[in-house]
Structure 1
Amino acid sequence: MRKFTAFACGTGAGLAAYYFQKLRDPQLAVHNSWTHSDRPVSECALWDSNWDFRDPKSLVRPQKSDLPQEQNRYNSDLEKHVAKSARHIILIRHGEYLDVGESDDTHHLTDRGRLQAKYTGQRLRELGIKWDKVIASNMVRAQETADIILGQIDYDKAKVKNCSYLREGAPIPPQPPVGHWKPEASFFRDGARIEAAFRRYFHRALPEQEKESYTLIVGHGNVIRYFVCRALQFPAEAWLRISINHASITWLTISPSGNVSIKYLGDTGFLPAKYLTNRIPRDAKNVV
């Protein structure tokens, strides 16, 4: 009996040592999440948790010592800066408009563009969202689109905010380059403004926000595509690789942790096929 007990103990110890050594082997390590991999992660794929400069750890004075009172102070300060709820940002591209004249004042929605906006408003109403904020670019086509949408959803028009930062523009030189389109001056003029708009509207919730919030932004194709790349931490130069239709819905969610996910990207599945457009007509003869 003693020999059997000794054998069992020895065998158990040996197996434990064997598996412990295997677990220490980085090639065989058991990860605590299926999202982990043993393959090296590309540097551009790493997530910056402080992308909005609101990670609580970056807002609190670091601990000066390991004393209990200092730890309590640090933990208390940290808790005050932790977001509790998610922010949902729904981006709408304006409807189709006619690009005639040299000024924005002449860039009005086409009949088809107005119908697109109406369908989008109906879709937003069907989603049953209670809006906390509605913001629109101050360009004519965005203003007209927002006005039509507001006729379909439950929101006080008097509370709508108009923002010049959201105006259409060329955010950053795209990759791959587009040979026939080289608005170098526009990149310098518009890039900083569009980036400022991103900083203004994309961030995790304030600590005092107790429930999920919904912000509706009516803007422009280039700006929306740039926002998507920046929010998901894709290379910003990739913005021109994305195509979104007129009056489409793009939905991004910022979690309390600062993680960002996309629910819709340029969704127009609610539009009749004959109203699907993404290019700008420059001749009234080509407008349906």
Structure 2
Amino acid sequence: MVFYPHENDNNNQLAQADKSRVFSTSWNYNWDRRDPKSLVKPMKIDDEFNRNIYNKQLINKTAKAIHHIILIRHGQYNKEAKTDADGRLTTLGKQQAEAIGKRLQELNLPYNSLIHSTMTRAQETAKIIQSFLKKNITVKSDSLLNEGSPIQPEPPSSNWKAEINYYRDGPRIEAAFRKYFHRADFSQEKDSYTILVSHANVIRYFVCRALQFPPESWLRLSLNHTSITWITIYPDGIVKLVAFGDSGHMNPQFFL
């Protein structure tokens, strides 16, 4: 076999290129603390009998259904308001809320619950959405979903000024993530569909956390009012972003 030095150089270059594509971190399957192996007490498996017991325990703690989370940003509101109570939806904001309500109705998914933040603009948006959905859907409010500053963004933006303290809002928004983002309970037989009506900062942070992206990246993302962001959580802990900021259900003049 004839040896050509330049071929070896090319191989070295390819090897270096491959190294640059290696992921810096691996997927954390126990991100929601619901990996079956973390829920079952370790035991010494020294025979077939103990192995069967252990495997049965794992099966009992394994999710069987898929958890869908549909995140909706509120409609346009009065940004000049000095209090939350005065930050009501504008006429356009109500039209946007009607558009997303119709879209969710058209999708005709078996929604289990509609949960909204306690801020006025989110409450009004959720109420309009509810009018388009089945009458027996569970509706709740949760202040954990209120707007805030989740974490100092990276890179910093001269256009972004934190109006709310990161140290105060960050733990609350993280608590909201841990409350709503997890694989289905292992006793759940059917897939679940939860609608969360919240705010841009919160939703963007949720997406970064769910996909295990650096949470500081949240400000790099952008969301239209009443857009759809859809996250699917599978029984094995894998998370997929089905849609982000989908606004195809709205007329172009609604993109404000």
Match among 174, 184, 188 for residue 167 of structure 2: 188
- In structure 2, the CA distance between the partners of 1:184 and 1:47, relative to structure 1 (3 Å rule), is farther
Q: CA deviation at 1:263?
A: 1.1
Q: 1 CA distance for matches of 2:22 and 2:43?
A: 31
Are residue 100 (structure 1) and residue 80 (structure 2) matched?
yes
Q: Report the aligned-residue RMSD.
A: 1.8
Structure 1 residue 228 and structure 2 residue 212: aligned?
no
| 1:1-288 paired onto structure 2 within 5 Å | 39=19, 41-44=22-25, 46-156=26-136, 159-183=138-162, 186-277=165-256
Cα displacement string for residues 97-124 of structure 1 (whole angstroms, at most 9, x for unaligned residues): 0122321111000000000000000011
C-alpha distance in structure 1 between counterparts of 2:92 and 2:129, whole Å: 14
Q: What residue identity is the alignment partner of 1:132? A: N
> Which structure would you say has the larger Rg?
1
Counterpart contact for 2:228–2:244, Cα < 8 Å: yes
- CA-CA distance at 1:179 after TM superposition: 3.0
Work out whether residues 63 and 71 of structure 1, in 8 Å CA contact, stay in contact via their aligned partners in 2. Answer: no
Separation in 2, partners of 1:228, 1:220: 12
3-state DSSP class of the match of 1:88?
strand
1 CA distance for matches of 2:166 and 2:183? 27
Aligned residues of 1:95 and 1:113 also touching (Cα < 8 A): yes
The 1:104–1:243 alpha-carbon spacing in structure 2 relative to 1, beyond 3 Å, is: same
Flag the 1:184–1:73 CA change in 2: closer, same or farther, 3 A. farther
Listed as ranges, the gaps of 5+ residues in structure 2 are: 1-10, 12-17
Q: Distance in 2 between matches of 1:67 and 1:92?
A: 51
Indicate the larger mover: 67-76 or 238-247. 67-76
Aligned-pair CA distance for 1:183: 2.6
How far 1:41 sits from its partner (Å)? 2.3
Q: Provide Cα deviations, 1:260-281, integer angstroms capped at 9, x if missing partner.
A: 101110111111111111xxxx
Cα displacement string for residues 125-158 of structure 1 (whole angstroms, at most 9, x for unaligned residues)? 110111111101010000000001111121436x
Confirm or deny: 8 A CA contact 2:84 2:119 kept in the other structure: yes
Q: State the identity as a percent.
A: 51
Q: Structure 1 residues 170 and 41, CA, compared in 2 at 3 Å: closer, same or farther?
A: same
- Mapped to 1, the partners of 2:158 and 2:242 lie a distance apart of 33
CA drift of 1:215 comes to 0.4
Write the distance in 2 (CA, Å) between the matches of 1:229 and 1:58: 24
Which residue does the alignment assign to 2:15?
none
Structure 2 letter corresponding to 1:176 = P
Q: How many residues align?
A: 240
1:70 Cα deviation from its structure 2 partner: 2.1
The code of the aligned residue for 2:190 comes to: K
Normalised by the length of structure 1, the TM-score is 0.80
